Amino acid sequence: MDEMQQKEGGELERVEETKLFCEEMKEAQKAAMKKQWEEFKKIMMEKPENILKQFDLFGNTAIHVATRSHTQLLSEFIEMVPAEERWNALCKKNVEGNTVLHEIVFSKHAQEMADVVFRFEEQLLTPQKNPLLELRNNEGESPLFVAAMHGKLKILKYMANRVQNLGEHFRLSDDKYNALHASVIGQHFRMSFISLCLRVCECQE
């Protein structure tokens, strides 16, 4: 009965325990939760192959998580990835479909973090690859759209300077909402923010 449990009505069902994470990953998770970044780095560097593995139940990798820390750690983790896998590391999505650029929107050092990623992108981007700012999550949101929805004006303006067709970035892939809708839904009513979104929406006309 140790692998079985009894349901209501007496029916038995099997309980399967899935070990998602090895011990070193669990220790790294604890360090990240406590924002002990040096310990987090030390654990991850012992087995660099773990950097691209699923780090938590949200499907993040250590690179996603590094966006919560400081720019040096993010840069070091990306550099630890073999050159031939580095582009996939930057494009890798979590369970919400967020890439590292989507996650950077929420960083306290968003612009500096973005600079790290853009520096690697410039080295790796080819005509056959889509720029990282064009990648969308499961909801069809680009990093710029996420910034608009959450009122992150500084990183929104910074990223917007790197694209040509703003209208495409500020509209969901299913064409239901635009940047202005997102800012209202997120209740970000500062005039400077609304003004920017209105200018973006004008580009979509």
Judged against a pLDDT cut of 60, whether residue 87 lies above it is answered with yes
Among 59, 48, 51, smallest CA distance to 20 is for: 59
pLDDT bucket at 129, cuts 50 / 70 / 90: very high
Query: Which percentage of the chain shows pLDDT scores above 90?
Result: 58
The pLDDT tens digits of the residues spanning 18-63 come to 456 788 899 999 999 999 999 999 999 999 999 999 999 999 999 9
Report which secondary-structure segment, H or E, holds 156: helix 153-160
Judged against a pLDDT cut of 70, whether residue 150 lies above it is answered with yes
Judged against a pLDDT cut of 90, whether residue 9 lies above it is answered with no
Say which CATH architecture domain 20-129 belongs to: Alpha Horseshoe (1.25)
**Residue 12 forms beta bridges with which residues?**
6
Q: 47 vs 157, which has greater pLDDT?
A: 47
Question: CB neighbours (10 Å) of residue 137?
Answer: 19
Judged against a pLDDT cut of 80, whether residue 128 lies above it is answered with yes
pTM for the full model? 0.77
Judged against a pLDDT cut of 50, whether residue 98 lies above it is answered with yes
Residue 175 is given by DSSP the state S
pLDDT bucket at 111, cuts 50 / 70 / 90: very high
**What gap in Å lies between CA 159 and CA 141, rounded to an integer?**
14
Average pLDDT over every residue of 61-70: 96
